[in-house]
Structure 1
Amino acid sequence: MKLQVKLEKQFPDFSLHNEFEIEDETFGILGASGSGKSMTLRCIAGLITPQKGESS
């Protein structure tokens, strides 16, 4: 299974830009508090719509 992510989400004081591709491997998202880890997962899950981008 392949996961391709390319997304962009703008907030008043925060810009989220992510682009990555994984296939048949374990993947983890690490970062400091407030760095966009949960927002990235919400966008991938379709709970939040990014201004630009897609995941497939």
Structure 2
Amino acid sequence: MMQSHMLRHTFVTTKLDGGVSLRDVPIAARHVDPRTTTRYDRARKNLDRHPNYILAAYVISGT
């Protein structure tokens, strides 16, 4: 269960970071309630401090 939630969260966050509108993401994520996507949008601003996000940024940068 936890993995599927993390995948969905990553999917939504990536779409939002890529510029997909907050109105279109719930359709792609199959969120019944658009407020779910809004919560993900608010939470993604906290990712910069998350250890996994920092590690991923480091690996992607190639340094």
Please indicate, yes or no, whether the TM-score normalized by the shorter chain is above 0.5: no
Give 1 or 2: higher strand fraction: 1
Q: TM-score, normalised by structure 1?
A: 0.31
Greater RCO between the two (CA within 8 Å, min separation 6)?
1
Q: TM-score, normalised by structure 2?
A: 0.30
Q: Which has the larger radius of gyration?
A: 2
